């Protein structure tokens, strides 16, 4: 039989793997945004000075913003950089805050899963009909950008699920080990 310590160790190692993947995707996203800003600045400057320009700046920017934004979501969640509105939360006892935290994790994981599922369906449909962006100069199929965005949302689901799993296992462990709770309602303490 697997004891609680083994469950916590396993879920912590899974969480660490997903954290590394999320962090890598966040770095790639940030680097792509930096490269995009340099490209746009050079393209606009060249156009203003009468030199050559790409003519596809909008199309390139929309692709990078679409997948780059979704790739950064899991990293933001893992690092606790997301927005959490807890105006009234400090008035409640620790036990109630834990319940709210676990409930929010469940809802967030479910909603992220729904977004990922629908994004994958959209990417597959775009692939099947060979959809292109309106007025496409490059001819880059929408399925590529949507597929990359789908990967970002899928990793967000994995990140949220690993945090949720670790939180529930820690909660179950604290219930068996005594009245003192070990669950943390701050992501910085959790990860």
**Which pLDDT value is given to residue 156?**
95
Asked whether the predicted pLDDT for residue 9 surpasses 70, the reply is: yes
Confidence tier at 191 by pLDDT (50, 70, 90): very low
DSSP conformational letter for 123:
H
Q: What is the pLDDT of residue 187?
A: 47
pTM across the whole model: 0.82
Q: Tell me how many domains the chain contains.
A: 1
Q: Averaged over 49-58, what is the pLDDT?
A: 85
DSSP state string for 2-39? --HHHHHHHHHHHHHHHHHHHHHHHHHHHHHHHHHHHH
Average pLDDT on 127-144 reads 90
Range of the domain at 122: 4-190
pLDDT one-digit tens code per residue, 136-157: 888 889 999 999 999 999 999 9
């Amino acid at each position: 039989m697997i004891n609680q310590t083994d469950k916590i160790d396993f879920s912590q190692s899974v969480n660490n793997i997903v954290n590394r993947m999320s962090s890598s995707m966040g770095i790639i996203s940030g680097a792509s945004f930096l490269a995009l800003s340099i490209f746009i600045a050079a393209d606009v400057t060249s156009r203003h000075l009468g030199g050559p320009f790409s003519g596809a700046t909008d199309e390139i920017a929309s692709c990078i913003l679409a997948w780059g934004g979704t790739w950064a979501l899991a990293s933001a969640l893992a690092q606790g950089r997301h927005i959490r509105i807890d105006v009234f939360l400090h008035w409640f006892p620790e036990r109630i805050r834990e319940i709210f935290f676990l409930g929010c994790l469940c809802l967030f994981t479910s909603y992220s899963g729904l977004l990922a599922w629908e994004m994958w369906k959209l990417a597959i449909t775009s692939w099947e009909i060979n959809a292109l962006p309106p007025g496409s100069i490059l001819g880059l199929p929408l399925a590529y950008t949507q597929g990359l965005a789908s990967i970002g949302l899928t990793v967000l689901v994995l990140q949220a699920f690993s945090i949720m799993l670790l939180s529930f296992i820690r909660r179950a462990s604290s219930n068996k080990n005594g009245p003192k709770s070990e669950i943390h309602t701050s992501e910085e303490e959790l990860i």
